[in-house]
Amino acid sequence: MFKRCIACIALALASGGATAQIAPDPSGLWYDPAESGWGLTVAEQGDKVFAVLFVYDPANRPAWYFASDLQVSHDFLPFPQAEGALYRSQGPWFGGTFDPRAVTVTPVGTMKLVMLPTSMQATYVIDGTTYTKSLQPQTWADGHAPLAGNYEGGLRIGAKSDRNCPDLSFAPSDPFAKFTFQVLEDAPGRMRLLWNKDKDTICVAIGQYAQRGQLGTITGTIGCGGIDTIAPTNTGPNPFVWSVSGLAINEHGFSGSALVINGSCTYSGNVGGVRTAN
């Protein structure tokens, strides 16, 4: 059984890279399922986005374009966007001797990416013609999440939808000790987080993992109760709804944005942890 743990620390948590300007980070492969062979690769670093478009030209030959400096803007909230110049590049055959003087970069138009809650709208102009596509993240994993293990970190609630909503905390009672917890994978993608608020209270968060580009999500329930009345395999009789988005995982730990719903009240914060040896 999971060892009793003691308390909460600020979440300066392991992540895959620098803080993203778009949340969740749109980096990954995007596509239209109805158009096989068409795709868009997106990588975000800081406040800029690099996008590579691979399509077919009028002669049905593979063609690719790139936008190396898409500027992120939040002026169009609630949906951030990235916009900039689009280029075509040509160069020497990949199997021959590379001559950098044979590489040409030609501006062909513009690209704009609008980040929607579960999709992306891509609008691009090539040689005077405008195209608009609705894209979704492309995934091919089996639903497995490499999260199982022991961690130090926790779940911090930082905001609530209304000041009349009661305060909500899942942190252990002792504010001066570490917040340690365990993550189990009971079935492919079925995650369970387990920790103790104090010697008599246990908290359980259960959810289904799903991949979204390079990041992931978890959706399920969370609850705390007396150690003699709540089993470590369920969230109790009256659990809250909880979800994690923008979940980044690496060999050192994980982090993501957390949302908890209790009736008409919504709470937001962060969840994550750094792997520990035990």
Quote the pLDDT of residue 140. 73
> What pTM was estimated for this model as a whole?
0.68
- Is the pLDDT at 1 greater than 60, yes or no? no
Q: Looking at residue 229, what is its pLDDT?
A: 67
Residue at 213: amino acid letter: G
**Residue 84 to residues 41, 51, 66, 224: CA-CA distances in angstroms?**
15, 10, 10, 48
List the alpha helices (DSSP H) in 99-161. Answer: none
Question: Which of 72-76, 147-151, 195-199, 231-235 ranks highest by mean pLDDT?
Answer: 147-151
- Kindly report, residue by residue over 252-268, the tens digit of the pLDDT: 999 999 999 999 999 99
Residue 48 clears pLDDT 90, i.e. is over it: no
At 96-141, the pLDDT tens digits run 999 999 999 999 999 999 988 778 999 999 999 999 999 998 877 6
Residue 199 confidence (pLDDT) above 50:
yes
The predicted pLDDT at position 21 comes to: 66
Separation CA 109–CA 85 (nearest Å):
6
Q: How far apart are CA 60 and CA 34, in angstroms?
A: 17
Residue 141 has a pLDDT of 63
Which tokens is 161 given?
Answer: 């939808």
Higher pLDDT among residues 76 and 34, named by residue: 34
Give the confidence band of 49 by pLDDT, cuts at 50, 70, 90.
Answer: very high
Residue of 205 and 278 predicted with greater confidence: 205
pLDDT attached to residue 51: 96
Statement: residue 9 has pLDDT above 80: no
- The domain spans of the chain are 28-137, 149-275
Chain mean position to CA 177: 29
119 or 74, which is more confident: 119
Mean of all residue pLDDT scores within the chain: 85
Q: Tell me the C-alpha distance between 93 and 122, whole Å.
A: 30
